[in-house]
Amino acid sequence: MSKKALITGLTGQDGSYLAELLLVKGYQVFGLVRRSSTSNLERITHLSGDIQIVAGDLLDQSSLMDVIAESQPDEIYNLASQSYVPLSWTQPALTAEYTALGVSRLLESIRRCKPDAKFYQASSSEVFGQPDESPQTERTAFRPRNPYGVAKAYAHWMSVNYRQKYKLYTSCGITYTHESPRRGIEFVFRKITHAAAQIKLGLANELKLGNLEARRDWCYAKDAVYAMWLMLQQDQPNDYIIASGETHSVKELVECAFNCVSLNWQDYVSVDPAFYRPDEPVQLVGCIDKIKTDIGWQPQHSFEQMVELMVDYDLKKLSNSVI
């Protein structure tokens, strides 16, 4: 009999890739989707006949209990959250409701309705905030510096506590930034690859950015979701850093993206201090030794491959919309 998986955050970047992966692996996939007055299924339209969409919301305990009781999933992947750091400063309480308390509601629902389900929690490198060591490992202290990071730290420790107290199978993946053509345009990687394509096609003529020297550990989203699945295939739950293990600057990213469209980035890019992130984390880079050694995961896509495939995607998409 095929395994059953429930994904929260199905309509997001990671949820859509994870659903594709699980379908290929023969799972029956249930996706939790909250009500919206307009359709937000763009990332999963191509899967609509293969997934069972179930209505629920991380804000609503009874909907989570109903969904878990009815679908009886073997694996539950919690990818839903308010995931945009700047918004967490303007909506800190709502961010905590989704990203922190939502996980408490989910864990309680699992404990009551399907205690043998394996649970994956999407933790974030933002829990490290301003870390006191670099690269960070699974033992690095959490020092979150924004409401999103604080909420993710709460969710992480609640998952660990339910593992210890109730013996639930809970594993947390501490993911660093990961990107893809399905990434929201507000995130800097996609903003840059999208702008390079727009400028190439004559649809824009400038790109304003913040600190070009800021460095990030960027990974490809398909590689990250593969790690999530692999984590839940282990006999014992555990927490792992999911990252590329290397950093690149925003300037390197800009150069690479504009090279892909044969343009000189200096002709189009300007620095606007308004885009500087006030809480810029220092040297956030993950050490992936533990996940490599324990379960044999490592990224399959390089930084350059990721930039190229995202620029190509936007060139094709924008060309079609121009025609």
**Nearest CB to ligand NAP, comparing residues 34 and 290:** 34
**Nearest CB to ligand NAP, comparing residues 170 and 200:** 170
In three-state secondary structure terms, 219 is: strand
* Residue 214: closest CA among 135, 289, 136, 271: 271
**Nearest CB to ligand NAP, comparing residues 39 and 321:** 39
Residues 138-177, interacting with ligand NAP (CB under 6 A): 175, 177
In the complex, the smallest distance separating the C-beta of residue 165 from ligand NAP, rounded to whole angstroms, is 23
In three-state secondary structure terms, 123 is: strand
Query: Which among 154, 162, 176, 268 is annotated as catalytic?
Result: 176
Q: Report the 10 Å Cβ neighbour count for 217.
A: 24
- Among 2, 40, 52, 300, interactor with ligand NAP by CB under 6 A: 40
3-state DSSP percent of the chain in helix, strand and coil, to 5: 45, 15, 35
Q: Report the 10 Å Cβ neighbour count for 323.
A: 5
Rounded CA-CA distance 77/119 in Å is 6
Q: CB neighbours of 212 closer than 8 A, spacing ≥ 6? A: 249, 250, 251, 254, 269, 271
Q: Does 14 engage in binding with ligand NAP (CB under 6 A)?
A: yes
Q: Does 57 engage in binding with ligand NAP (CB under 6 A)?
A: yes
- Binding-site size, ligand NAP (CB under 6 A): 27
Comparing every residue's Cβ against ligand NAP, the nearest one is 12
Q: Which stretch binds ligand NAP (CB under 6 A): 3-11, 190-198, 259-267, 269-277?
A: 3-11
Catalytic annotation, residues: 176
Task: Tell me which residues touch ligand NAP (CB under 6 A).
Answer: 8-15, 32, 34, 36, 40, 57-59, 79-83, 98, 102, 122, 124, 175, 177-178
